[in-house]
Structure 1
Amino acid sequence: MASAPFPDSAAPALDDGPVVLARGEGPYGEVVLRRHGALLQIIANGCFLMDTSDGRSERLLVTEAFAALADHPSAAPPDVLIGGLGVGFSLAAAAAEPGWGGITVLERESAVIDWHRAGPLGELTAAALADPRVRLVHGDLLAHLHEVEAGYDALCLDVDNGPDWTVTEDNEGLYSPAGLAACRAALRPGGVLVVWSARGSERFVKNLRKAGFTGVGTREVPVARGVPDVLFLASHHLASQSA
């Protein structure tokens, strides 16, 4: 994740400890926004979720999906659903690509939405949120997938630390056979699914294939510390590109 564009005067010294900027209560407990030096961080129930220190893998979540769709162009610009707003890197990457049609972002924590609309995270996403293609939806991802009618050309999902490391037990349903079936049903033929994870999972790769996805592959994205982030790529009927 690339460093957030905050002016030096707005950020405390890098050796200062984290400072809580805001707290919110959601359906799954407390969500906290804090600043640590030049970085903004989101913490859920004491579990670190993400910060503004980098963003390569979150941006690639969207750019890989667009590249896969470009191999099988359609008459209309493709529509994308981004599952998880987070600090906004994926949204910003989608808005920066003029080739997308509709850009829907689904976030279950109302506090996170507020921090983007009228809070510190707005510095990252104000321009993207002003894009007329962007629709920000507050709700549960799996419920939304079951309700969608027209479908999407791409699902770019970043709602957990990964399929084997969920933030809440409820999220396990997304990676279950029923959850993957809902993802596939929400995709138009030829559509692509990209799932972000903090680590790889052979089990999830097998489950994607069992769910009927084709062209299943992974892309590792190096990070400054620890194991690489991983993107799982799959397609509905048509083979997707993977690195």
Structure 2
Amino acid sequence: MTASYDTPEVIDRRQGPYGEVVLRRHGALLQIIANGCFLMDTSDGRSERLLMDAAHDALDGRPEPDVLIGGLGVGFSLAHAAADRRWGRITVVERERAIIDWHRDGPLASLSAPALADPRTGIVERDLVEYVNETSDTFDALCLDIDNGPDWTVTEGNAGLYGESGLASCARVLRPGGVLAVWSAQPSPEFEGTLRNAGFRRVRTEVIPVARGVPDVVHLAVRPG
């Protein structure tokens, strides 16, 4: 039986170490659901493009900066970064094996295949919180899109990333003058304050216009030189 446009069709459902992750098709769209929480779909990509572009612009012309992207999602951030020859090394940290598989040889491959084939691209299968706490690698930009924002995390363990100790770990993987960019489904003045308290400078929020409702935003902050 063929699902109607109004009935999402489950393409794959997996139980992983962080809970259930589901890939659905809803009409022409592909959607990722984690633990019953809608994460993202393939409808647009404006906010992911802004996430990458705003981070690059905040680097003030640094040549071939290396970027760490937190969360593979539907691949918009990675695809946009790989299409921009100004970026140097592009590292994506994704904790869900299912999402990586959907990009490598599944329904999301059509969005990300050129980016995954780019020699600058590397995929790390790991929890981002663990990665920023333990890696010895450093980057010029850290772009986070693993939750619906600092105030609406997908799993409870992610919440600490947006506090002062978690932001200290983010600063540790950033080179001096490096940029932290955080996507959010809504503005968070409290998070702006936490960024400043954690020692970041040039803290600001860029708004992504939407047709109706609360706009998406990208929170930006710079590690002091």
Shorter chain as denominator, the TM-score bin is: over 0.9
Over residues 22-53 of structure 1, what are the superposed CA-to-partner deviations in whole Å (9 max), with x where a residue is unaligned? 11111121100010000000011111111011
How is 1:152-163 mapped onto 2 (pairs within 5 angstroms)? 152-163=139-150
Over residues 31-83 of structure 1, what are the superposed CA-to-partner deviations in whole Å (9 max), with x where a residue is unaligned? 000100000000111111110111101111111111111x1525xx2100000
What root-mean-square deviation, in Å, do the aligned CA atoms of Structure 1 and Structure 2 show? 1.4
Distance in 2 of aligned mates of 1:186 and 1:135: 16
Q: Paired residue for 1:43?
A: 33
Q: Paired residue for 1:104?
A: 91
Counterpart AA for 2:34: A
Gaps of 5+ in 1: 1-10, 239-243
Q: Paired residue for 1:88?
A: 75
Distance in 2 of aligned mates of 1:149 and 1:46: 34
Q: Is the 8 A contact 1:214 1:237 kept in 2?
A: yes
TM-score, normalized by length of structure 2? 0.96
Distance in 2 of aligned mates of 1:212 and 1:61: 21
Q: Paired residue for 1:22?
A: 12
Q: Paired residue for 2:62?
A: 73
Distance in 2 of aligned mates of 1:124 and 1:73: 28
Q: Paired residue for 2:112?
A: 125
Distance in 2 of aligned mates of 1:98 and 1:216: 26
Q: Is the 8 A contact 2:45 2:76 kept in 1?
A: yes
Gaps of 5+ in 2: none
Secondary structure in 1 matching 2:58: helix
1:55 aligned to which of 45, 50, 60: 45
Alpha-carbon shift at residue 16 of structure 1 (Å):
3.9
Q: Is the 8 A contact 2:183 2:219 kept in 1?
A: yes
Over residues 153-180 of structure 1, what are the superposed CA-to-partner deviations in whole Å (9 max), with x where a residue is unaligned? 0000001011011111101011111100
Alpha-carbon shift at residue 98 of structure 1 (Å):
0.6
Alpha-carbon shift at residue 12 of structure 1 (Å):
7.4
